[in-house]
Structure 1
Amino acid sequence: MANEHLEKLYHVLDDSTTILNQQLKTSFIAAITEAGEDLDSGEVMQEDGLPNDEAKKKLTALFDQIKLATYEPEEIRQALQLVLVKAIKVDGIEPNKQITPDAMASLATFMITIFIQQHPDQLRVADLAVGTGNLLFAVMNQLHKAWNVEVKGFGVDNDEALLAVAGMSSSLQRLDVDLFHQDALDNLLFKDADVVVSDLPVGYYPIDERAKKFATATKKGHSYAHHLLIEQSMNVLKPGGLGLFYVPSQVFRSKEAEGLTKWLAKAMYFQGLLNLPDDFFADKNAEKSLLILQKPSPDVKRAKQVLLGQFPDLNDRDAFAAFIAKVKDWAAANIVL
């Protein structure tokens, strides 16, 4: 880890989480939330004598090493992310709930800067499968840095433990985020987002009656949750808003894709589909692509030619520079008003 400042924060978070995990006999991810909240408040919370006084003394000494005001939001997010990667292994977290790599956040941010030609003074960015918030918060931080604008976040998830991490993380980073613990396919309490970005969970949605409200639902049996979440996400966007979704690379080739395809053609601007580099995935069946959609509006154009292709290896600087130039040329020819 090249950044010693960030490394110090990581070690404090990792060591304190390990102590709390052992003391509280809880999951590692719940211990991360407790450690982050204690660091944020500047006080080690005890309940029913736990953590014990000796552990509390150790935790206090650890937290005294950190002055949060000296850390950028991105440093805090990255340090937390490293501890969360450990939690995935310790707790055996299922694939749909694992951390979205930073490279995917950077690719999404790049696409936002391509498609949003005139950005407001405050951007509203949402994720309806927010999990621990890593993808949403990375994009928020990157957009703030790229455009020097205020960024307001909205996150939805039905997993209380993951959402607790997101709440702690956003507080440590001093981000302006509203988080909602609910089924993302139920009625939502916000709308008019500028951007939705999401690494979508893949699988069937169990509540058929609720799924029937969506055009992307299948006619028989359970519908794909990721299809429904794409439609619901686009519903919360303002006209001209941008939807960026990491989806299975075979998203349009399954037998269940008919409803999704018809809905896209009728209701949205299908602007692009870019495959992620092969080396992102150990298992070919887990490969993902970035689906780019835009909500129709007089202020945006449907692409004359959909942006298709593959992101190059991120370590090949020449190939990536050529890719960026190609995307900018495509934008000038296809979507710039």
Structure 2
Amino acid sequence: MSVLAEGQIERFFNILNEVTEIVQKQKDQSYLDSLIEVLDTVQSGDVDALGLTSADAKKVDHKYAEFKRDDYDAETLRKSIQMAVLKATRVDKIQANYQITPDTIADIIGYIISGIFSGQKQLSLLDPAMGTGNLLTAVYNQLDNNLHIKPAVSGIENDDAMFELAASSFDIQHIHAELFHEDTIQNVLAPVVDVVISDLPIGYYPIDENTKGFRTRSSNGHSYVHHLLIEFAMDHVRNGGFGFFLVPSQLFKTNEAKQLLKWMQGNVYLQGLLNLPSELFQNKASQKAIMILQKSGGNAKQASPIMLGEFPSFKDRSAFQKFLTEIDDWQKKDLLQ
């Protein structure tokens, strides 16, 4: 990244941070709630909407005057917003499901999608659990830069705060998206797309009544929400389309995996399972992987061999680049033939 881009990221983050702290202090509320208000007004410059005292409003007006949207590209703005959300998780000690997907992982997913869809003129993306929208916008920006495609984008999120952060992030980046503020498991009328991507929430889904009709639901007790979301997502992929999911590395080693594997047969092909570097996780049990699924039908077929492996340390650039080259070769020789 250029020094100029880094300076721009810091500049916009400082605007967001300083105004957020002013709002937080005056209203005596969380940093996250204050950030949501700021993101909602920074483009319009509507200081009155923040309900501040005249002295604070004057300070904010001065900060907002520093922001010229046309001076920034979308990726710079995304990274600045990401920094502000990361600060919110630290300041407010927010629960784990607000954690942002690391950019390196988003870059890998975008890289693989770019290889598979090279030469295409159109592409559509859906994230059924988009959170703050960071993964979705990061991949969008990468495809825009690498393939010169502006994908049609859809995202679903149930959490109020995360949805508002995502909606503001898309708006500020000037990314047109169809966003659904709903519980995905309650059968949202989402579009059928070429690719689904998601950093899946892990754990049990609490409302058993809503899981009726899902083949991955548990026969006893609560069902795994990540299983349900995988099924929902791949049901919304066109024949031959792809799903890229961040999942536990031990996904297929639980008792509940039987239902997931049973659903997969005849519906999707497991094309790859790439463990992320173990150094990113506290222990083996918390390690995650990128799972690549392909919807059956169309020109889809089972790749042979399946792409299995573990990424080398992200710090070892030479080994990391070598692994990406192996993925390229696998795509050309085994996946897309």
Instruction: Deviation per CA, 1:264-318: give whole Å up to 9, x if none.
Output: 1231011010000112223443211011001112323321211100112122121
Residue identity matched to 2:139: V
Larger deviation, residues 131-140 vs 188-197? 188-197
1:35 Cα shift? 1.0
Instruction: Deviation per CA, 1:44-63: give whole Å up to 9, x if none.
Output: 1346xx31111111111111
The structure-2 alpha-carbon separation of the partners of 1:241 and 1:58, relative to structure 1 and needing over 3 Å to count, comes to same
Distance in 1, matches of 2:77 and 2:116, equals 28
Distance in 1, matches of 2:153 and 2:47, equals 28
Aligned to 1:255, the other structure's residue is in SS state coil
Larger deviation, residues 206-215 vs 280-289? 280-289
Distance in 1, matches of 2:70 and 2:118, equals 33
Larger deviation, residues 204-213 vs 164-173? 204-213
Distance in 1, matches of 2:263 and 2:180, equals 27
Aligned to 1:40, the other structure's residue is in SS state coil
Asked if 1:80 is matched to 2:115, the reply is no
Instruction: Deviation per CA, 1:223-275: give whole Å up to 9, x if none.
Output: 10000000001111111111000011111101111001111123101101000
Whether the 8 Å CA contact 2:118–2:147 is kept in 1: the answer is: no
Q: Find the counterpart in structure 1 of residue 180 from structure 2.
A: 180
Aligned to 2:177, the other structure's residue is in SS state strand
1:117 Cα shift? 5.0
Asked if 1:26 is matched to 2:29, the reply is yes
Q: Find the counterpart in structure 2 of residue 102 from structure 1.
A: 103
Distance in 1, matches of 2:47 and 2:54, equals 10
Q: Find the counterpart in structure 2 of residue 312 from structure 1.
A: 312
1:334 Cα shift? 1.2
Residue identity matched to 2:331: A
Distance in 2, matches of 1:132 and 1:158, equals 11
Q: Find the counterpart in structure 2 of residue 89 from structure 1.
A: 90
TM normalised by structure 1 equals 0.95
1:38 Cα shift? 1.6
Asked if 1:14 is matched to 2:17, the reply is yes
1:209 Cα shift? 2.1
Q: Find the counterpart in structure 2 of residue 247 from structure 1.
A: 247
Q: Find the counterpart in structure 2 of residue 145 from structure 1.
A: 145
Whether the 8 Å CA contact 1:38–1:45 is kept in 2: the answer is: no
Alignment of 1:269-308 (within 5 A): 269-308=269-308
Residue identity matched to 1:61: H
Runs of 4+ in 1 over 6 A off after TM superposition: none
Larger deviation, residues 21-30 vs 314-323? 21-30
Asked if 1:45 is matched to 2:34, the reply is no
Distance in 1, matches of 2:118 and 2:11, equals 39
Q: Find the counterpart in structure 1 of residue 56 from structure 2.
A: 55
The structure-2 alpha-carbon separation of the partners of 1:45 and 1:126, relative to structure 1 and needing over 3 Å to count, comes to farther
Aligned to 1:239, the other structure's residue is in SS state strand
Whether the 8 Å CA contact 2:266–2:296 is kept in 1: the answer is: no
Match of 2:38 among 29, 35, 38: 35
Whether the 8 Å CA contact 1:115–1:242 is kept in 2: the answer is: no
Distance in 2, matches of 1:125 and 1:170, equals 14
Larger deviation, residues 94-103 vs 136-145? 94-103
Q: Find the counterpart in structure 2 of residue 136 from structure 1.
A: 136
Whether the 8 Å CA contact 1:17–1:28 is kept in 2: the answer is: yes
1:118 Cα shift? 5.0
Whether the 8 Å CA contact 1:97–1:201 is kept in 2: the answer is: no
Distance in 1, matches of 2:301 and 2:252, equals 23
Pairs aligned (count): 334
1:77 Cα shift? 0.4
Residue identity matched to 1:77: R
- RMSD across aligned C-alpha pairs, in angstroms? 1.5
Asked if 1:65 is matched to 2:66, the reply is yes
Distance in 2, matches of 1:266 and 1:149, equals 31
Alignment of 1:167-206 (within 5 A): 167-206=167-206
Whether the 8 Å CA contact 2:103–2:138 is kept in 1: the answer is: yes
Distance in 1, matches of 2:260 and 2:199, equals 17
1:138 Cα shift? 0.4
1:111 Cα shift? 1.6
Aligned to 2:43, the other structure's residue is in SS state helix
The structure-2 alpha-carbon separation of the partners of 1:284 and 1:56, relative to structure 1 and needing over 3 Å to count, comes to farther
Residue identity matched to 1:78: K
Which runs of 5 or more structure 1 residues have no equivalent in the other structure?
Answer: none
